[in-house]
A and B are shown apart, each in its own frame.
Chain A
Amino acid sequence: MTTKLTKNYFLINYRERWGLSVFGWIFLIFIILLSSFLGIRNLYAILSPVQREKTDILVLEGFISDYVLYDAIKEFKNNRYKLLIATGTPLEYGGLLAPYRNTAMIAGKSLIKLGFDSTKLIIISTDEIRNDRTYNSAIVLKRWIRANRPDIKAVNLMTMSVHGGRSKLLFKAALGDSIRVGIISIPNFYYGPQNWWRSSKGFRETMNEAIGYFYVRYFFKPYESELSK
């Protein structure tokens, strides 16, 4: 039988303690690796959810790639939406040369070029070019809804792949409890849930979005909706 050895000195003391053995460390590392592996496997699904709400309003984030525009038109037709709202922020670069200086305008005008009915389209842009661009787009959307369509109780938000999780959180934060937010994340053309870690673009974007998602989920302060609490 062993006894605990404790020695007290004036400023310090000596105590026995339990610690991990070599096998203990191996087991712990195995558990950490396993949970990290499972987490990373599900990361894509967390970051690019598809959860539709029952609504006839489709919101499209303006920064999306061109091929998503076709998905937006298909989504609009197949699910009998009545209005498509394109949101966006000013271009970060090239705006002085480009015919349209805002991503909402680019997405909206591109839809019209693809034959989309302009009477069913609203382009809402913000001039906010600093931080929190997605959030600011959502704030402007909220302002437009309040002024023009206060009857809207839910929207479905269409966006690009791994940005979906973060977009949903930010739109929910901005629109508050009175408007439900569904999310439709369109898979990226270049990578998907099964192979995102195999390309530099996929890995980089997914990891960036994972950090962004974590930040928004735990640290982001939705400053406008805080007023409405």
Chain B
Amino acid sequence: MNLNYRNNSLDGTHKVLNYTYIRMLLALLFAGWICFFIPSYGQQGYEIKFKINGLKDTTCMIGNYYSNGTYIKDTLKVDGSGRCVFKAPADYPRGLYLFVITEKNYFDFVINNDHKFSIETDRNDPVRKMVIKDSPDNELFYQYIKFNGAKYEQIQQWQDKIKNAVEKKDSLDIYNKRIDEISKEMIAFKLAIAKNNPSSFTALLINAMKEPEIPEIPLLQNGRKDSTFAYRYFKAHFWDDVDFTDDRLIRTPVFYNKLKKYYDNVLIQIPDTIIRELDAMVEKARSNPEMFKYLIWFTTYRYETSEIMGFDKIFVHIVDKYYVTGQTTWVDKTVNENVIKRANKIRPLLIGCKAPNMIMQDTSLNLVSMHNIQAKYLMLLFWDPDCGHCEQEMPKIKEFYDKNKENPGLEILAICSDTSLVKMKNSIKKKKMNWINVNGPRTLTGDYHAQYDIISTPVIYLLNEQKEIIAKRIPSDKIGLFLENYIKHPAKP
């Protein structure tokens, strides 16, 4: 076929144009081909070849770290020479993975920027015998692991010497000094890795583990040292080297612990403080859907089940801000509905809320309205005559009541869950319950189980004069201390 139209033309102009068009089209196609295939070549899948000496004709597993656990992702068939290959698509989540030989024998490896590499090691000593080819990321990771391992062994030797030492104090000082030196070497090595290889996975790990070093404490205008500086600095710089838009962090064992430490130990344990910090953190992660999802999960789960009184306020806030507004798109509709339902159930019972009224019959069948009870402090006690734990708690509650009835003015409204008035009266008599007693099932205000989220007995709520909840689900032996503290600082229940 002759494409040279110019040679065959009598009046060449039109044909020349056509030919130019074809050339342009071919050039565009070629450019398109380049644009399409070059990046896809760069995004080729992962192919990791393993050779484990001492293993043959068996099955091993590939797992990954996620949050505070490890999860099996795949199984690999190991051939007679101990070889196996792990293949994964280019968009496989990056992070720290495990090659599991047995439950107690495994080694870590990194899935990050290197797509094709090989790992050779020995089943009896996988870390020390590790040989990596074509993966600078894994080489650096193992350089770090091996260095740390060697240094830990040295520290262990010195610690053994200290333990068995019969020498004088001078010798012990020398041993301790040596341990300090080794620790400093480890820190220096770690920081050097992070500084010299900033884009490596090992640097990501090291930065996530790093904690701020407090500089010299400045002096205040009055010449005294700023006593809160250290805390403020530590908190402000706690996340300095952590990028909340990098979801590789979730697939490491360090991020969960750092988050936990921040929420448990760094932040002041006041719901409003935690809510403010939590929102700011989630906002930072918003551009990475995986991190956004993880942080919402972490905080929802943590505060939905928190044992700390009053922290359910944080759960309600999370639900209102992220679930109700439809931002949790990955959550199943039923899950979303149930989370919202749970938040709605505990919302009227948050600390500071006015307690829902209960109108119930007392032992003489007269109606008693909780909101009409005049008392500086009102304890709601949900109990049952057959409940063994109520039996154990009641003498302590009685003692506390008798002591605090007049001053500071405590009253108790005991709500019995048994329908039998005879049983209730007998139990009241036996336990000498000299406070206001009502029968829970004989109510005009609906099921108290639903109203007060009662699933078992005994349960105690403490209200102030305005019938606002100041404490809930508090053990009987802690009420005294709580009330004492509340009377001193009423604004901070």
Residues of A within 8 A of B (CB): 99-101, 105, 108-109, 112, 117-127, 140, 143-144, 146-147, 150, 221, 223-224, 226-229
Contacts and interface: CB of A to CB of B under 8 A. Distances in A.
Contacts of B280: none
A126 B345 CA distance: 13
Contact of B392 (A119, A228, A229): A119
Interface stretch (B117-125, B256-264, B383-391): B383-391
Contacts of A221: 332, 334-335
Contacts of B335: 221, 223-224, 226-227
Contacts of B441: 101
Contacts of B18: none
Interface of B: 297, 300-301, 304-305, 307, 331-332, 334-335, 338-339, 384, 386-389, 391-392, 417-420, 441, 447, 449-450, 455-457, 473
A8 B120 CA distance: 57
A124 B456 CA distance: 5
Contacts of B388: 117-121
B449 A125 contact: yes
A99 B424 CA distance: 13
Contacts of A119: 388-389, 391-392
B456 A122 contact: yes
A143 B334 CA distance: 19
B449 A127 contact: yes
B386 A118 contact: yes
Given A99-B419, A122-B389, A127-B447, A227 B339 contact: yes
Nearest to B334: A223
A123 B449 CA distance: 13
A123 B387 contact: yes
A152 to B, nearest CB: 14
9 contacts: A99-B420, A101-B419, A120-B388, A123-B456, A143-B455, A147-B473, A223-B338, A224-B338, A227-B297
Contact of A227 (B304, B386, B391, B456): B304
Contact of B332 (A117, A126, A147, A223): A223
Query: 3 tightest A-B contacts by CB?
Result: A119-B388, A118-B388, A223-B335
Contacts of A147: 307, 473
A121 B441 CA distance: 21
A99 B421 CA distance: 11
A227 B301 contact: yes
A55 to B, nearest CB: 19
Contact of A228 (B301, B331, B420, B450): B301
Contacts of A123: 384, 387, 456-457
Given A109-B386, A125-B456, A127-B450, 6 more contacts: A123-B387, A123-B457, A125-B449, A126-B455, A147-B473, A229-B297
Nearest to A126: B455
Contacts of A118: 386-388, 391
Given A101-B441, A119-B388, A127-B449, A146 B305 contact: yes
Question: Which one of A118, A121, A147 has the highest number of Cβ atoms from chain B below 10 Å of its Cβ?
Answer: A118
A227 B455 contact: no
B392 to A, nearest CB: 7
Nearest to A224: B338
Nearest to A87: B455
Contacts of B384: 123
A172 B457 CA distance: 25
Contacts of B305: 143, 146
Nearest to A111: B386
Nearest to A143: B455
Nearest to B305: A146
Nearest to A117: B388
Contacts of A144: 455-456
Nearest to A85: B456
Question: Which one of A105, A127, A147, A150 has the highest number of Cβ atoms from chain B below 10 Å of its Cβ?
Answer: A127
Question: Which one of A123, A126, A150, A221 has the highest number of Cβ atoms from chain B below 10 Å of its Cβ?
Answer: A123
Contacts of B389: 119, 122
